Amino acid sequence: MIAPSFLQAFESMDELIALPEELHRLKLVDAPECSAALYVDFMKNQDDMRRRVAHAGLAEHAVNLLARFEERRARLTGESVDLRRRAYSVQLFMEHQDMFIRILHKLGYSFEQLSAIRSRAVKALIEDVPTLNVEAEMVARLESQTGVLKPNDLFDIQSFYTAVPYSSRVIAEKASISRAQQAKLDVKYSVVLSRSLHDLLNFYPRSQD
């Protein structure tokens, strides 16, 4: 995704969702600075021990999440992609209940009102929230395939649900692009999906400087 920053894609930048201190901190991070310079500075000057601890935590989280994926994939062996998507959508709804309740209260509604519309609430909140919709579509197709899942598969999904709804073009590896196209995410979110950086040649005008 080509943009000054990526934080707008996350719930913590939404004033309806974020805690005040969290929003303030991220607004400072998102101040008008050169994104490339900030990234280079972070990569060059970060504390090595902190980086190692963060990496170890991320690796542990990925292993645990993959185990959950594999367990669900085994449980739904032989089921269609559509059933897998619906099952994962319900799981997403359950995992995000606290967030939904927080938003409801800020908008002046109760959880009982949400519960009253039952399955329609699950369907609408997952299918109409872009990041959750993309995640459900991508995970359903990933889990329906054979072969051992790898941590990079998880990171690809995270990249896609962050970028696809908010970008004009997304370039990624063949497998992820194929899953997104099968789900017709390019049509739904009006984004061009590509497998090659060559597709960017002559697309962006060169600087006159």
pLDDT digits (tens, 9 = 90+) for 87-141: 998 888 888 888 888 888 888 888 778 777 777 777 888 888 899 999 999 999 9
Domain ranges, ordered by start, for the chain:
46-166
Residue 124 sits at the vertex; the CA angle it makes with 168 and 140, to the nearest 5 degrees, is: 65
pLDDT at 102: 85
Burial of residue 105 (CB within 10 Å: 0-12, 13-18, 19+) is exposed
- Rounded CA-CA distance 165/63 in Å is 27
pLDDT at 11: 56
pLDDT at 2: 46
Cα Rg of the chain (Å, integer): 19
- Rounded CA-CA distance 54/142 in Å is 26
Which helix (DSSP H) or strand (DSSP E) does residue 180 occupy? helix 174-182
pTM of the model: 0.71
Helix (H, G, I), strand (E, B) or coil at 9: helix
Helix (H, G, I), strand (E, B) or coil at 75: helix
- Rounded CA-CA distance 63/61 in Å is 5
pLDDT at 178: 93
Torsion of CA 138, 139, 145, 150, to 10 degrees: 110
Q: Is 132 within 8 Å of 96 (Cβ atoms)?
A: yes
pLDDT at 1: 43
Q: Is 137 within 8 Å of 189 (Cβ atoms)?
A: no
Ranges of the chain with pLDDT below 50: 1-3
